Amino acid sequence: MNENGGIMIHECNSRPPALYYLLLFLMFRFPLLLCSYIGAAWLVLDEATTSLSSFAPDASSIVSSIKYHAEFTPLFSPEKFELPQAFIATAQTVRDALIINWNATYDYYEKLNVKQAYYLSMEFLQGRALLNAIGNLELTGPYAEALSQLGYKLENVAHQEPDAALGNGGLGRLASCFLDSMATLNYPAWGYGLRYKYGLFKQQITKDGQEEVAEDWLEMGNPWEIVRNDVTYPVRFYGKVISGSDGKKHWVGGEDIKAVAHDVPIPGYKTKTTINLRLWSTKAASEEFDLNAFNSGRHTEASEALANAEKICYVLYPGDDSIEGKTLRLKQQYTLCSASLQDIIARFERRSGASVNWEEFPEKVAVQMNDTHPTLCIPELMRILIDIKGLSWKDAWNITQRTVAYTNHTVLPEALEKWSMDLMEKLLPRHVEIIELIDEELVRTIIAEYGTADSDLLEKKLKEMRVLENVELPAEFADVLVKSKEADDISSEEVKISGEEEEDDDGNDDEVVIVEKDGTDKSSVEKKKEELPKPVVEPPKLVRMANLCVVGGHAVNGVAEIHSEIVKDDVFNAFYKLWPEKFQNKTNGVTPRRWIRFCNPDLSKIITQWIGTEDWVLNTEKLAELRKFADNEDLQKQWREAKLNNKVKVAALIKERTGYSVSPDAMFDIQVKRIHEYKRQLLNIFGIKGKKTFVPRVCIFGGKAFATYVQAKRIVKFITDVGATVNHDPEIGDLLKVIFVPDYNVSVAEMLIPASELSQHISTAGMEASGTSNMKFAMNGCLQIGTLDGANVEIREEVGEDNFFLFGAKAHEITGLRKERAEGKFVPDPRFEEVKEYVRSGVFGSYNYDDLIGSLEGNEGFGRADYFLVGKDFPSYLECQEEVDEAYRNQKVRLRPIKAWSDLTYSQLYCYHL
């Protein structure tokens, strides 16, 4: 164990090293021969934890291995050996190297029976793996030389790899950075996700804006994954719950599918640890194929069960406007939870040996839910422990709460998942029973905490905290609120009776004759009947997944200091008051390997040269040593050259992707992230028109709008229309370019971020949980303009107030500003009104932008009233951009102070633009 409790894999000196060298030689010279003896070899090396890092192969052995895979394990025909084939064969050789460390890592974990973390996420935005893997293995040089001998450049071969379409935004990128960091820090961990066939979508930019087509990342196969056909678990939907003669509940019938494991090795940097990302695909059993129906010509009917099973893993976040879409999403979430937990439990039982002590489960297993998507882990773990393993409710609940933890990623109400109870009852009937019991347990806790004396307070707490929304209280507590309100109700009734009109002796109200326009009479009684209110529509019964996460786990963390405070003070305030010990902050982090060392080699070389060691990649505190060279002119010159080289590469990328030519001498101003109103790409693009003076700028945007998010797609369309107008204006020339880079992904980010000089993180304060792109930009020597939101707060504290362009309202002011708007007190800045009218004038084309502009107007109403305060922050934003221009005009030939942050979170390398 290391000092932080992680597992360190050390070299074992109890075995003669000669055998290990022989195995490595055989692997690279004669891989097929090695396969025949690998089982026997592991019997000899079963306690060794050796890896390629102990003995780096030379270029000639790598060439032999690449040739072997091209001939004997090809995914292409053998007639030619072009770049795509070269990539596949090269990746397979790297995978061979990873498997040695991978098997040794988990052999070590099995023998020690260590506590292991399991990270469940609906997204893993990995990016390309080849350069990252060989970089972590310290084999970049040998592979570059080997491919050169085969007639190729390593960079060109690596470019053939598609980005794995397993994620979309920061949630998925964070998950991948976590895996990299856990492997590098030698923590026993495992990731679990779904193997999406088509990912989210591939974004194309046309004259109509964003268009979505299926992502084809698996079309040529995935050389990194290993299909584990022997690791499959049943997953059930629908059916019914019955009580057995033994008193146990049994979930029977319904629709059964199989989840099949696909493993992807995740190597650490300069370590022997290689951990695993296990992805689930889905299929139906072969007997589900109706051969008789097929032979009768009913082909669709015959394969319906197979198609229903396979489509679960077709698309990331399928549209959920329809009941079919909602059902598919819920199936995805349950598949991830059920298959993963079955796998985790099977591993726990195997490591426990003959006697399984379930009380030890939380001492050996930590399940981290990345946002609310894996919430069903809680009732699923309860179901397995109670229905299958035979534990009591009390024991199962105690084990579950000690095992599970929850990372919250949002303060947006619409992102705190709620599922229809009716849908869940149909799809997962046993889980609804368990959730009802959890809700009952929570109600009991709330009543015990707050009592029944103050009925209003109790009602408020129950309404706010219950897992079930719009659902009557459990029978046990049905009359609690009624009894506590009896006195108030009696008092109200007395007031009501004393104020009523006296009745006639016969008990009828006095009748008032009404003469209608048509001359007929109507009694007041008849009129009252007409005026009776329409039947009230019952609100839908919902399961609040975020509340279930808080109740069912032992820890809840936000992902930045300000976000964690909002979680405690606002989002889950009632829970925080009840269980303050559960709430923590874990500021998001990114790996400095991918986001400095590998994506920005020019800057990395400079840092290493001046610090005198490459240890900063692992120990980012060492970056502080650059402070003493901050005024060195030679360092300044090298830094400028590195930035310019990166800008030249991006200019070529822009030309290739968009056809536009940009000048690398202009300021590269970049905002790349998911397209969403709260991230305020509109503020950015409006600000370009609002500014009156300019230094030359290339304003670069990138990101995907969700396919059914109409307003976000309008924003993409607007940015591209502005670009089409500005970029073709000869009078503007190189003074301004507006670029939208299509299909933004990790590989594009790895080019844009090192070239950035100003990055925009301008979300409405209090609405961005953390952000991780702000960290990546800062690490690559980029100035930032932003609000006090997410990790911006901590970045600003590290780099100093004078090194962060700050504007806009603060988080604690937002509610008041929205109220001010609703009361009609907001007076927009004339420059903001001018920009809106300019857009309406049609200067950017024939597209009607009334709905887009309308969202920024009015004082109330859905989709109106400028909920994200673009207009409010617009003047402050323009003033801040003037400061940016002034700083760019008056560049100092010196570095600003540099500060380093912990490698466990992120490292910050700050450089004033040169």
CA proximity to 608, closest of 620, 595, 599, 594: 620
Measured CA to CA, the distance from residue 748 to residue 673 in angstroms comes to 12
CA proximity to 404, closest of 587, 186, 556, 277: 556
Residues comprising the chain, all counted:
914
**Close Cβ partners of 4 (under 8 Å, ≥ 6 residues apart):** 185
Alpha-helical regions (H) of 77-207: 83-112, 130-136, 140-149, 154-158, 170-184
Name the amino acid, one letter, at 121: S
CA proximity to 380, closest of 421, 416, 343: 343
3-state SS, 20-36, equals HHHHHHHHHHCHHHHHH
Which residues does the annotation mark as catalytic? Answer: 409, 673-674, 679, 772, 776
Name the amino acid, one letter, at 86: A
DSSP E strands in 568-607: the ranges are: 583-585
Measured CA to CA, the distance from residue 680 to residue 711 in angstroms comes to 12
For CA atoms 48, 139, 91, 132, the dihedral sign is positive
β 255-267/274-283 pair status: antiparallel
Measured CA to CA, the distance from residue 190 to residue 344 in angstroms comes to 10
895 and 639 in contact (C-beta within 8 Å)?
yes
3-state SS, 670-721, equals EEECCCCHHHCHHHHHHHHHHCCCCCCEEEEEECCCCCCCHHHHHHHHHHHH
Measured CA to CA, the distance from residue 498 to residue 616 in angstroms comes to 81
**For 542, how many CA atoms within 13 A lie in the half-sphere containing its CB?**
17
547 and 465 in contact (C-beta within 8 Å)?
yes
403 and 397 in contact (C-beta within 8 Å)?
no
The dihedral region occupied by 178, where left means phi > 0, alpha psi between -120 and 50, and beta the remainder, is: alpha
Eight-state DSSP code of residue 734: G
Q: Which residues pair with 261 in a beta bridge?
A: 228, 280
Chain centroid to CA 652: 30
Structure tokens of 221? 């196969």
Q: Which residues pair with 259 in a beta bridge?
A: 233, 282
**For 906, how many CA atoms within 13 A lie in the half-sphere containing its CB?**
31
Measured CA to CA, the distance from residue 285 to residue 642 in angstroms comes to 56
Eight-state DSSP code of residue 745: -
Phi, psi of 383 (to 5 degrees): -60, -45
Structure tokens of 320? 């959920």
